[in-house]
Structure 1
Amino acid sequence: MSEVPRSSEEVRLGYYRRVLAICGLLLVGTSYKLWLPQTDYPQVPVFSALVHAPAMIDYVLAVGIIGSLLAWLVTPNRQATLAAWSTAMCIAASCLLDQHRFQPWAYQLIFSTIILATCEAKLALRLLRMIVISIYVYSSLSKLNLPFMRDEGQMFLDVLLGWVGAKEALAASVRQGMTLLFPLGELTVGVLLAIPRTRKLGVIFAAVMHTTLLLVVGPLGLNHWPGVLLWNLCFLAQAPLLFWPMAEREGEEPVEAPPAKLRAVGIFAASFVLLFPLLEPLGYCDAWPGWALYASHVSRADLYIDDAAAEALPEKLRPFLVETEWGAYRLDASQWSLHALNVPIYPDDRFQVGVAIAASQRYGVALFSQMSVQDPADRWRGERTETRYRGPEQMKEATKRFWLNAEPRDRLAR
């Protein structure tokens, strides 16, 4: 006999849980190489103690992620706690082995499962709503700056203007101003969803915005990685599930709240997700945990290889070499990530330093390479501070500038 939910909140969260589980399975499936102990692309653990972690751990955790998500999908509401905890722990542990796996959707999934496992439906719904609102707000604020107006914003705008044949019709200053429509749209959705009286309008605005974004980044536009489309589809579904008004069910039974210590875990997890992004502008929170999505100001690192040495690279890396004005070649690690793993590169100089070191060591070009590490761009002037490191010893020294690990897993750097 199927379980009868006790409240309208449980009905909502039952559907929402299944949407998250399905999206999680699809996202892991489209990026399956990322979660396996592959050697096509460097892996950079969160802690240096994990640099020597055996490949078998990756396999075990990958199986755990899939199995946990399947169990979370089919288990009745009030028996899904164990599957939720297993999902969160397996994804989090796998991300510790490779920072690249800490994709925004994986981050959201980790904390959403913890909240659903520790809080009663009414509290869980309130916390999940706050997190979704914060994603819109933080994402919008990360784009209200000159770097976005000059870079990512122009890329999006070109697609929209191209549809109406007006790509070259506008002055540069007008184009820069128009790019602010993207973050202002996100901010509007976040504000509308935060106010109970305007939530219906917020859901409608969210549907319009995500549909437009799907067209921009989809096959008719930028043709981005399928995971970007899937995550936007998830947001399309979660807006009405979490925010559209629902009538109270008659004869609802009171739901017993979990123990106070368990609820405290969920509240702490939600508080962390809500407050940690405040440190992103100060440089103490990475872009994706800070919900700086499609932001252009983020830090980065590039590997430059001398002209003659670049010829020693394998054929599979040749398409990702970009010739510079001064003769060397830049390895486009972002495109390499998309082709090798089907995911965007983790947007932080710490991870990208590890990628550069692994590539230079593995293919024997470290002595003929230099690494450029660029701090986040100034949000109002667009200027960056750049530091160059030449050769393997200096590159190794560059890893000491970070609190967390920047060295690749040893089996991938050989």
Structure 2
Amino acid sequence: MVAQQADTSLLANDLIDGSDRRDRTNLPIRTQLLLIALECWSAACAICLLVATCALWIPSANREIPPIPLITACVALGPAWDVMALLSLTLGLFGLSSCSVWTLSLCLIRSKGEELPKYAVAAHATVLRTHLLTLRPSNLYTVRRVSLWLIVAGGMTLVLLDQLRLQAWFFQLLLFCLVFLLPTPELRLKWLQMMVISIYAYSAIGKLDYQFLNTVGQDFLQAMVRTFGMDCQNWNGTVRVLLASGFPICELMLAAGLCFVRFRRLTGWAACLFHLTLLWLLGGQLGHSWGVLIWNLQFAVQALLLFALPTARPGNLCFVFSTIGKHSLATDLTLAEQRVRWFAPNFLIQACLVLAIVLPATERLGWWDHWPSWALYAPHSSRVQVWVAPHVGESLPIALRQIIEQSTKDQPENQVNTGIEIPLATWSLQVLGVPVYPQARYQLGLSRHLSTIIHDQYAIRAELRSFAGRLEGGRTIQELFNADQIHSASAQFWLNSQPRSFRSKSNSP
């Protein structure tokens, strides 16, 4: 039995690490299989999320909301680039999920189910026994790494071509793929745990402010107490704010509990319960989109695979410093000789991961975007409010006109005549199935697009609003009174706010 488990562990090493070294890992086979299962689960959820938000990824000249590249150099690129990048991403996701399933099946077959948990034995696919045993581990290893690089390359290209694609779940996918490229299971487990802990921590910190506690947090609280037949609208304001703060405090407690070995497995189960509760709250009570629900389900299972079920204990907070050392960050561990190579792939990958963990701390300074900082359901983000004159309403895109008609039908006529507010968030959800990118830079790009299709530079105005203060919720407001001022305001941003040039100028009939 011991010999069979050792043989299975070596097989997992060969399949995932592509090496004949026999001292590569000290992780139990159960934990290695859980890491492989996490790769499969991440790829499967990404495929589901791509399908749920397909309008965002498929290029179309008839799309009402134009793609706004992340950098100016991509503005002139045509839709063929989107197609090639999407093909690369799709091939990579299917390749990664297939390799993970094959690897799990081979390991389970070799182990014959001994000393493995019941859920792993149940996952043993009998239909795969007949042909998977003939596959060579080196082939699976090569396909797996090529698939991961295809995902990273295709995903980064898609984001460069349209910054709205930098959804929080997609950013997490790219980071996880970089972690999966690291050479040893121990290193992958450490970085995955650090990454998830940082997500919980930054998400909680982003919500502990005036805006969340008095807006979105109140919506969450009202939806929760309504289940018990209560209405919190008449409760004391201070009490309601304190109760709303329970949501980010729970996230902060999860982040703290996952940092310590003694509480890690229990906190992993608590994180799973937390996301299942969010599934019920966001889906059953607030009617959020499929993308939100799928991502929360992904986090629930992810908490089990990373924290609740593994038997390995890589350590508590001190493993952050042990990971970033001479023998991991600056060393190419795929080499037999442990030589320092400061430009080795493993060094560059881990340098990117360090930045992904550190840079969200600069979000409130305006140096890092809100979604990559895990500011989720945090309404303090910078934004743009846009108004157009009523006489140019017929020039607007069809879906946007329908949204405006629905939202203004109960408003007094004199209020409508002063200007029609453009609901950018609702427009994005209806046309693309995703929330509008919570960044003033991107929303200014949408304003620029609208200014080009109404053909009257004085029929549009906008307000550029900074992120809200943490304690009082105040914002700095810059007023833009015509199309020229809207275009000129783009110069204050480091990144691009100009829509792609191949888009059609109008979607009006």
TM interval, short-chain normalised:
over 0.9
Equivalent residue in structure 2 for 1:290, among 359, 373, 379 = 373
Q: Partner residue of 1:252?
A: none
- Name 1:71's counterpart in structure 2: 95
Are 1:21 and 1:73, in contact at CA under 8 Å, matched by a contact in 2? yes
Whole-Å separation in 1 of the counterparts to 2:239 and 2:87 = 51
Distance 1:295 1:92, change over 3 A: same
Which residues in structure 2 correspond to 1:7-406 (within 5 Å)? 7=27, 8=29, 9-38=31-60, 39-75=63-99, 76=103, 78-79=141-142, 80-167=144-231, 168-218=233-283, 220-247=284-311, 257-259=333-335, 261-321=344-404, 322-323=407-408, 325=415, 327-406=418-497
Alpha-carbon distance between aligned partners in 2 of 1:162 and 1:68, rounded to the nearest angstrom: 44
- Contact 2:457 2:484 (C-alpha < 8 Å) held by counterparts: no
- Closer/same/farther in 2, CA of residues 342 and 379 from structure 1, 3 Å limit: same
Cα distance, 1:12 vs structure 2: 2.1
In 1, Cα distance between the equivalents of 2:183 and 2:393? Answer: 55
Structure 2 residues not aligned, in runs of 5+: 1-7, 14-26, 104-139, 313-331, 336-340
> What per-residue deviation string (whole Å, max 9, x for no partner) do you get for residues 107-133 of structure 1?
011111012113311101100100000
Deviations 1:373-410 (A, max 9, x none): 10001111111111111222111101011000011112
Q: Which range moved further: 257-266 or 234-243?
A: 257-266
Q: Counterparts of 1:298 and 1:381 in 2: how far apart (Å)?
A: 14
Moved over 4 A (4+): 322-326
Measured after TM superposition, the shift of residue 265 of structure 1 is 2.4
2:399–2:427 CA contact under 8 A, matched in 1: no
Distance 1:163 1:245 in 2: 32
Q: Report the alpha carbon displacement of residue 312 of structure 1 after superposing the two structures with TM.
A: 3.3
Displacement after TM superposition at 1:238 (Å): 0.6
For residues 230-284 of structure 1, the C-alpha deviation after alignment (integer angstroms, 9 at most, x for no partner) is: 1101100111111125347xxxxxxx94246232123212201110101101111
8 Å contact kept, 1:350–1:399? yes
* Aligned-partner Cα distance in 2 for 1:41–1:366: 19
| 8 Å contact kept, 1:355–1:408 | yes
Q: Which amino acid aligns with 1:141?
A: I
Give per-residue Cα distances to partners, 1:80-122, cap 9 Å, x unaligned. 1111111011011100000000000110111110121133111
Q: Secondary structure at the match of 1:5?
A: helix
Residue 410 of structure 1: aligned partner: 501
Describe the superposition over 1:197-230 as per-residue Cα deviations: whole angstroms up to 9, x where unpaired. Answer: 1012211211221111111110x21111111111
Q: Compute the displacement of 1:364 (Å).
A: 3.3
Q: TM-score, normalised by structure 2?
A: 0.76
Q: Do the aligned residues in 1 keep the contact of 2:85 with 2:153 (CA within 8 Å)?
A: no
Q: Which moved more, 1:284-293 or 1:319-328?
A: 319-328
Distance 2:41 2:309 in 1: 18
CA distance in 1, matches of 2:203, 2:442: 21
Separation of aligned partners in 2, 1:340 and 1:30: 13
The answer to whether the Cα contact below 8 Å between 1:305 and 1:329 also exists between their aligned partners in 2 is yes
Distance in 2 (CA, whole Å) between partners of 1:387 and 1:372 is 6
The residue type equivalent to 2:502 in the other structure is R
Tell whether the 8 Å contact from 2:269 to 2:308 is kept in structure 1 after alignment: no
Unaligned runs of 5+ in 1: 249-255
Distance in 2, matches of 1:404 and 1:101, equals 15
Displacement, 1:175? 1.1
**Distance (whole Å) between structure 1 residues aligned to residue 491 and residue 254 of structure 2:** 41
**Are the aligned partners of 1:24 and 1:109 in contact in 2 as well (CA < 8 Å)?**
yes
Contact 2:56–2:165 (CA<8 Å) still a contact in 1?
A: yes
**Partner-residue secondary structure (3-state), 1:405:** coil
Q: 1:119, 1:266 within 8 Å by CA — same for their partners in 2?
A: no
Cα distance between partner residues in 2 of 1:110 and 1:164: 40
Q: In the alignment, is the contact (CA less than 8 A) between 2:202 and 2:375 conserved in 1?
A: yes
Q: Aligned residues, how many?
A: 405
1:72 aligned partner, one-letter code: L
Q: Secondary structure at the match of 1:303?
A: strand
Q: Distance in 2 between matches of 1:317 and 1:22?
A: 33
Q: Which has the larger radius of gyration?
A: 2
Cα deviation, residue 360, structure 1: 2.5
Give the direction of change, closer, same or farther, for the CA distance of 1:247–1:285 in structure 2 (3 Å limit): closer
In 2, the alpha carbon distance for the partners of 1:217 and 1:365 equals: 41
Distance 1:314 1:82, change over 3 A: closer
Give the whole-Å Cα distance in 1 for the aligned partners of 2:369 and 2:65.
21
Quote the sequence identity (%).
29
TM-score, normalised by the number of residues in structure 1: 0.93
Aligned residue identity for 1:368: A
How much does 1:359 deviate? Answer: 2.1
- 1:152: Cα distance to partner? 1.1
Structure 1, 21-30 or 202-211: larger mean CA deviation: 202-211
CA 1:62–1:366 in 2, change beyond 3 Å: closer, same or farther? farther
Which residue of structure 1 aligns with residue 12 of structure 2? 5
